[in-house]
Structure 1
Amino acid sequence: MLDVVFLHMFRDVIGANDCDKIVEKNPQNMAKFRSTWEKCKLAFQGATKSFRASIQVPAAIHQAWQ
């Protein structure tokens, strides 16, 4: 459930149509993004409110965001 909400929010920020076009051209872009998201979730222990983690966004998706 967390994944669905997070990915929906991410697509909204990028622009759903642009994000879908990028992923359609190269599905590995979303696979890489999901992988870094999964690592972030696993690193979270819930013990601190100041938890911060980076999620790597593939270049093609990042460029659409700019």
Structure 2
Amino acid sequence: MKKQILNLGKFLNKKDQKLINGGFDYPVGFCYAVGVNPPQLIAKVLCNELCPDGATPFCPVFDDGIRN
């Protein structure tokens, strides 16, 4: 029985471990298209990275949503 319980699931590499809630080095930020109404989400990136267009992502965990 113990062996069956220990063999549940699969081994997670470092990349997979970071995808688990709470495993990010930085919180997730959101990238929105500029000039579109309503705003359109174009990407989700870590708050220490930039959006694909080079803009700073909106990071709701920070008070003002802007990385400084």
Q: What TM-score, normalized to structure 1?
A: 0.24
Higher Rg of the two aligned structures: 2
Q: What TM-score, normalized to structure 2?
A: 0.23
**Which of the pair is proportionally richer in strand?**
2
